[in-house]
Structure 1
């Protein structure tokens, strides 16, 4: 097994992420951060990489020797004092979208793919300023991850495997860790999860999506009225023809703009017709059991830059992809995985309650210009928990400006980002780093200028 052994005492699962509290380490007893067995995964010649003082590693974790199942990872040391800082695991949603293509090189990693798809630029607000970052392309079939057993691709679901759809399988992973922690030999000091614009409860998510579209003038009063009178999102929603047609009208209008970012321009040009960009249109559909899982991030042009970059032979070689085998075709999201996803809980609110009772820290944040999993969906879902409020709704500040609003409950904090779309760090990099820092420290967001 190729993997990075990190000497930390804290782990965080965010957004896709999980959290472990850092604790003092006697400098005289410190061991190397990276196990020497992983030295072959050290990235030394990534094309276009800015010079940095920290190390990063990429390669494969063999998760099933029998089936030949391997997941691709990319690990960045914290920019300073990596031995003393927590480990953060970032998982993007979809399901079927790449944590490397989105999280690592569009959102929170130290390198952002350039607009020509050839170079990289340094991210001054990378979250590795505060933590060691681990990005995993999961499950098999996402990005560079693979299996030599074809049936592995036909049995995918939440039980098989943090923005968006990761809002479901991150809490499920946290629950699994919590349950397994009864065995001292498997104990992981997991303290909490941080989730951004997460899918949470199908019924509340649907209500939030249509109410947000109406309140932001995407659909008419008449369409919204039909939905209110005919849609039972808690029951057999799509058996009602009037409901189904009205919701189709909402999705139709969202095809005209960027559902992930209502007030920014869409990508226009040849790249907008690429296979990856067209996924957004293809996935604007309903299913009988779950939310319309629309693929990807917020900027189809950014997606194309990532596709160009990761399909370069020299980039794949630098990242130790396929161990020297012929060029692997990388895509930012997988239609096959999306279509084959067979297992999805309609609500993970019971898991929230379980994790809160176990004492885990849970923070949820929402960019307030996202129509895909809008702030209303999250407010409806959290409202259904019925948690006591410990700090009432109030602005939080960054650089003396209102960054958003937040409210604290017993066991949970909810915060908004003013003027941010679905992938919040793309819109508010400095603000999101500030929230991330408060989360790691277990401190309230700044409520004064």
Structure 2
């Protein structure tokens, strides 16, 4: 009775109204936008209990065309207000950061085989930072456009510009992240997305006296970097790892002009022969692990593989867990909980959009000029490479980066994860390169602990551990 009387008294004094005001306005007096409150995820279907906050929804980036990008924010597990913000991007072009980054790699949850429930990821990156997953560009996952032609003329330029607009508008919805330390991370074709967006932000910040995006650096894994050097490094990996014969290796090197916009018939024939007759039934994204039988004859996957060498259509790793994600995110109750598919898109949610993959219009030949500019600007830049990926292999990345001609600060050494070598690394003036031992294309999926150590070291700006 005493408690009830106290509650009635406080209510009569307007105390509950005061509490509500705190929720809406924030203790620091800064208004919390209504849309942020609407984007809060109370709980996902089948989700284990967690202490951190989650938000998801759409941010319109082009009113005229009706383009809107879908995001999912998983705040840090402890002291999120003190932790940096990290944007994660997957590649493709046309693949979902929700399907891959969030659900298979660095996110807090994993999906069960039936797609009925979630379980916790022991090495989730939101233990160290607030992680923002973005489905980009429009047409990927739950990100949409009301202008159908947008799906057939997407490219690097628009993707970077839309992502910049997204960040500016998203931070208006989440003002607590304005001026917060900000990093970008990603893999595969995000080897384009990440440095291109970093450059857009850098240019934007130079043009504004008080920029809200406090960009500190970026990291990319198994990243498409330079068409010419990547291609030579890829063929070298195939040959040096016994995936192709001496004869096929010589044919590819003889007939493929890696600087040409279009490949010759003889080049196509040599590459097709390698993939269809010499590779065997392996997972190219992880050459030493079993392939998913459910995806062996997947035609869309084969299209991506055949385009790998010269056209760099890198979709991301394709294990069976992709199937679990498609089961889960097509559930109406999941979409409702995530404030997704609010416009009723006329197609099922998929991990990758083949329409975008096959209709990509502009792709820069090399990221190396951007690297040089952003190194000079003082950004923290790390490049890492899982060493069992044959699609964007470690040899491709090393060959590309070698042409930056950077001064070596710390020579090549093995770094450790527990009692085991986690990989090898070399620190240059302005860039750190690291391999991750035993990891395929999706490094955090295959080696979650090693990837977590890598990420934590990156955020702290510390060298990878030299001893056990």
User: What TM-score, normalized to structure 2?
Assistant: 0.84
For 1:203 and 1:349, the matched residues in 2 are separated by 11
The answer for the alignment partner of 2:301 in structure 1 is 280
Select the residue among 220, 231, 234 that pairs with 1:209: 234
**CA separation of 1:438/1:226 partners in 2, compared to 1, >3 Å: closer, same or farther?**
same
- TM superposition shift of 1:115: 1.5
Aligned partners of 1:409 and 1:204: how far apart in 2?
Answer: 19
Change (3 A) 1:402 1:251: same
- Structure with greater helix share of residues: 2
Match of 1:189 in 2: 214
Q: Which residue matches 2:313?
A: 293
Matches of 1:326 and 1:284, distance apart in 2: 28
How many pairs does the alignment contain?
Answer: 415
User: Matched residue of 1:283: which SS?
Assistant: helix
Could you say which residue in structure 1 is the equivalent of 2:467?
448
Match of 1:167 in 2: 191
String of CA shifts for 1:347-383, please: whole Å, max 9, x gaps. 1100000000100111000000000000000000001
Q: Deviations over 1:48-69 (max 9, x none)?
A: 1010001101111111222221
Task: Give secondary structure in 2 for the equivalent of 1:116.
Answer: coil
Q: Superposition RMSD on alpha carbons, in Å?
A: 2.2
Contact 1:213/1:250 (CA < 8 Å) preserved in 2? Answer: no
Q: 1:56, 1:75 within 8 Å by CA — same for their partners in 2? A: yes
Larger Cα Rg: Structure 1 or Structure 2?
2
SS at match of 2:222: strand
For the residues of structure 2 that align with 1:326 and 1:180, how far apart are their CA atoms? Answer: 33
- What's the counterpart of residue 390 of structure 1? 409
Q: How far off is 1:393 after superposition?
A: 0.6
Q: Counterpart of 2:176?
A: none
In structure 1, C-alpha distance between the alignment counterparts of 2:115 and 2:314, rounded to whole Å: 24
1:19 aligns with none
| Counterpart Cα distance in 2 of 1:317 and 1:298 | 27
287 and 91 in structure 1: CA distance in 2 versus 1, 3 angstrom threshold: closer
DSSP-derived class of the 2:290 partner: coil
1:218 counterpart = 2:218 = no
Deviation of 1:286 after TM superposition, in Å, equals: 4.0
Quote the residue 1:127 is aligned against: 125
Q: SS of 1:323's equivalent?
A: coil
- 1:339, 1:168 → 2: CA distance? 17
Distance 1:267 1:218 in 2: 19
1:340-419 → structure 2 map (5 Å cutoff): 340-419=359-438
Q: State which of 52, 56, 59 in structure 1 corresponds to 2:57.
A: 59
Describe the superposition over 1:279-330 as per-residue Cα deviations: whole angstroms up to 9, x where unpaired: 2212222499x5341423241x111111111111111111111337588620
Distance 2:66 2:346 in 1: 19
Q: Secondary structure at the match of 1:232?
A: coil
Shift of 1:237: 6.9
Q: Post-superposition shift, 1:244?
A: 3.3
Q: 1:325 to 1:242 in 2, by over 3 A?
A: closer
Aligned equivalents of 1:248 and 1:336: distance in 2?
A: 22
Unaligned residue ranges in structure 2 (runs of 5+): 1-25, 160-185
TM-score (norm 1): 0.88
Q: How far off is 1:222 after superposition?
A: 1.3
Do the aligned partners of residues 318 and 328 (structure 1) sit closer, same or farther apart at CA in structure 2, a change above 3 Å counting? Answer: farther
**In the alignment, does 2:451 pair up with 1:426?**
no
SS in 1 for 2:258: coil
Q: C-alpha deviations, 1:401-425, integer Å up to 9, x for none?
A: 1000000111000000111100000
Contact 2:317–2:441 under 8 Å retained in 1: yes
Please identify runs of 4+ aligned residues in structure 1 that moved more than 6 A. Answer: 31-34
The residue correspondences of 1:21-60 to structure 2 (distance < 5 A) are 35-60=33-58
Once the two structures are superposed, the pairs formed by residues 247-286 of structure 1 within 5 Å of their partners are 247-252=271-276, 253-254=278-279, 256-269=281-294, 272-273=296-297, 277-286=298-307
> Using the alignment, how far apart are the partners of 1:142 and 1:237 within structure 2?
26
| Range moving further from structure 2, 302-311 or 180-189 | 180-189
Aligned residue for 1:117, secondary structure, equals coil
2:204 to 169, 180, 183: 180
Q: Is the 8 A contact 1:180 1:187 kept in 2?
A: no
Structure 1 runs not aligned, ≥5 long: 1-27
User: Any idea what SS the aligned residue of 2:51 has?
Assistant: coil
Decide whether the 8 Å contact of 1:210 with 1:250 is kept in 2.
Answer: no
1:16-69 Cα deviation digits (max 9, x unpaired): xxxxxxxxxxxx986789655411111113111010001101111111222221
Residues 135, 115 of structure 1: alpha-carbon distance in 2 compared, 3 angstrom cutoff: same
Q: 1:325 to 1:224 in 2, by over 3 A?
A: closer
